[in-house]
Amino acid sequence: MQETADDGATSPGRSGTAGAAQFSRRWAAASGAVAAGAALVIGELLAGLISPSLSPLTAVGGALIDAVPPGVKDWAISLFGTADKAVFVAGMLLVIAAVGALAGILEQRRRFAGAAVIGVFGLVGLTAVLTRAQLTPAAAVVPLVAALAGALLLGWLSRRLQEGLPAGAAGTEMSARTARTAGRRTFLQVLAASAGATAVGGIVAAVWRGAAAGISTAREKLTLPAPSSEAPAIPAGAEVSLDGMQPLVTPNRDFYRIDTALIVPSLDPESWVLRVTGMVEQEIELNLADLLSKSLIERHVTIACVSNVVGGDLIGNARWLGWPVREVLAIARPQAGADMVLSRSSDGWTAGTPLEVLTDDRDALLAVGMNGDPLPLEHGFPVRMIVPGLYGYVSATKWLTELRVTRFADDVGYWTPRGWSDRGPIKTSSRIDVPRTGRRVSAGTVMFGGVAWAQHTGIGKVELRVNRGPWQAARLAPGISLDTWYQWQAGIELAPGQYEVQVRATDLNGEPQVEERRPVAPDGATGFHTIRVDVNP
Ligand SMILES: Nc1nc2c(c(=O)[nH]1)N[C@H]1C(S)=C(S)[C@@H](COP(=O)(O)O)O[C@H]1N2
Ligand SMILES: [Mo]
């Protein structure tokens, strides 16, 4: 290949120019490959944290696999057997390294040219992510952040490299040479450190993502049995048709996620066991096959987070498939004096649930299914608890591994010593979803809509008031069950002007929700959801 004039050869006649050019091109390519690799690794690690079921690499890989004609796939499988995926991923990594090397060389020629190539690389990742079924906002952020990080690293490496080149060091011949030597040394050190960090990060990402991928595959292969008792049918009219309402049953991918897990636990369904221990006559060990062979029931239950502020969205409604907790406890036979079940997850997180809530007639479940699918990894695969009427922090243990029958006097759940109450019944509450606060609407009959919940008691009525005037009844849609939220709507005549609108729910025992505004700690927020509406003439 011919040396080009602008490649480190800006001072013709200076000795060592050709050598510097070669030094430059080779190390520019290396810088680019390292920067692209770093972007990839950052993307995979970040995805592991905020978007476990969809990373840029798996998205691009998935999109490519979907795009490849079936014949080619069969050919690849016949050629590489079960190693086809490994070969495919290795091929993708080679292409990424080659594109990175090119970006490195371009960046040396013209500042930002290589960064632009890495940007395009990020856009390819983003496009792939946007086409995948598991798409979430977090998943779309990952390729952008990764590409930005890669581009910054490339720019930085490339500037360090420049400082090691003849043109980069001015001054007398001697001092320039010393500066160049120092510059090269710095560059090589920085490059080696980046490459090392990328390699270590890559190994971590590969092991971690590999485990998650294996569990994802196991999850996809799992077929859940049909329930012996189906969820009650959703009554006609339960879902209010008003633009801007949330779906009555929350799709899995839109379901709020709250947990302390930095890394989503990957539990192998093959080796998963649940132990029932503590104050019981009979300790029990149960694997997933045992659990799936029981007669499972399916129920709609609305779960909520104690940290949900008034008007907040840390609440969701799903159809859960599982085995009633009371049945496993009936086999274990709790001893007299026990009043709490401390459920523990694989990562050590715990929740303390009153024993009576797990043994009464409500359908507290060892849940394996969510809206017809096995639990998503981030929602507790393979098994979690779902308890109607209690906040998640005292009941909804994900990645469940142990039920320890004990006493409130002897044990505490994870959040109790951290400023939260040991009991967490969900407080009756309501929310206005339509119109959104601050929204402009037209004068006349303004349509309002939203949800109200009082799990396991049920909602009796929902009312609205305008500018603290008299309460007016909203039309309450039929609920799916006492354990779910109810939708409501109301049309209110409003002349042009600005209004404050509030909502209040009353449960089926006639108990209205608490008016006093209280924060989420220690046992759940109270107060009326209040919105501002601007009515146009
Ligand atoms: N293992 C584990 N389970 C957990 C938690 C947790 O931090 N770790 N958080 C709980 C809390 S506070 C809530 S509100 C619910 C949320 O469940 P979701 O993420 O499926 O919506 O999970 C509960 N189960
Ligand atoms: Mo929560």
Ligand 1 atom with the smallest distance to the CA of 255 is: 21
> pLDDT at position 530, please?
97
> pLDDT at position 126, please?
95
**Does residue 264 sit in the same domain as residue 159?**
no
Length of the chain: 537
Give the ligand whose atoms come closest to the C-alpha of residue 396. 1
- Which residues fall within 8 angstroms of residue 31, CB to CB, at 6 or more apart? 104, 107, 154, 157, 158, 161, 191
**Does residue 356 sit in the same domain as residue 434?**
no
Domain assignment present for 442:
yes
For 7-36, the pLDDT digits (tens) are 333 333 344 556 666 668 899 999 999 999
Q: 140 C-alpha to center of ligand 1: Å?
A: 24
Domain assignment present for 424:
no
* Among 386, 418, 450, residue at a domain's last position: 418
Cis amide bond preceding 69, omega within 30:
no
Ligand 1 atom with the smallest distance to the CA of 385 is: 24
Write out residues in the chain with pLDDT < 50, as ranges. Answer: 1-15
Cβ(396) to ligand 1 under 6 A? yes
> pLDDT at position 154, please?
95
* Among 153, 188, 210, residue at a domain's last position: 210
**Does residue 519 sit in the same domain as residue 495?**
yes
User: Chain-centre distance of CA 503, in angstroms?
Assistant: 31
**Does residue 64 sit in the same domain as residue 195?**
yes
Cβ(152) to ligand 1 under 6 A? no
Three-class HEC string of 285-319: EEEHHHHHHCCCEEEEEEEECCCCCCCCCCEEEEE
> pLDDT at position 186, please?
86
Q: 139 C-alpha to center of ligand 2: Å?
A: 22
**Does residue 258 sit in the same domain as residue 121?**
no
Closest residue to atom 12 of ligand 1, CA basis:
393
**Does residue 271 sit in the same domain as residue 366?**
yes
**Does residue 119 sit in the same domain as residue 23?**
yes
Q: 345 C-alpha to center of ligand 1: Å?
A: 10
Domain assignment present for 476:
yes
CATH number of the CATH domain containing 382: 3.90.420.10
Give the ligand whose atoms come closest to the C-alpha of residue 413. 1
**Does residue 314 sit in the same domain as residue 195?**
no
**Does residue 487 sit in the same domain as residue 388?**
no
Domain assignment present for 455:
yes
Query: What pTM was estimated for this model as a whole?
Result: 0.73
For 231-274, the pLDDT digits (tens) are 999 999 999 999 999 999 999 999 999 988 766 788 999 999 99
Cβ(253) to ligand 1 under 6 A? no
Cβ(397) to ligand 1 under 6 A? yes
Domain assignment present for 243:
no
CA–CA–CA angle 205, 93, 191 (5° rounding)? 75
Nearest to 134 by CA among 222, 210, 54: 54
Ligand 1 atom with the smallest distance to the CA of 258 is: 19
Q: Are 55 and 145 in contact (CB under 8 A)?
A: no
* Among 392, 418, 444, residue at a domain's last position: 418
Q: 304 C-alpha to center of ligand 2: Å?
A: 7
Backbone angles phi, psi at 84, to 5 degrees: -55, -40
Residue of 258, 383, 401, 520 to mutate, ligand 1, most atoms within 8 A of C-beta: 258
Domain assignment present for 239:
no
**Does residue 482 sit in the same domain as residue 378?**
no
* E strand or H helix that includes residue 331: helix 325-332
The structural domain count of the chain equals 3
Cβ(156) to ligand 1 under 6 A? no
**Does residue 413 sit in the same domain as residue 318?**
yes
**Does residue 309 sit in the same domain as residue 441?**
no
Domain assignment present for 423:
no
Cβ(59) to ligand 1 under 6 A? no
Strands 315-324 and 297-304: antiparallel
* E strand or H helix that includes residue 202: helix 173-221
Q: Are 115 and 68 in contact (CB under 8 A)?
A: no
Q: 374 C-alpha to center of ligand 1: Å?
A: 17
Give the ligand whose atoms come closest to the C-alpha of residue 256. 1
Domain assignment present for 149:
yes
Ligand 1 atom with the smallest distance to the CA of 415 is: 12
> pLDDT at position 474, please?
98
- Domain range for 170 is 3-210
Q: 292 C-alpha to center of ligand 1: Å?
A: 23
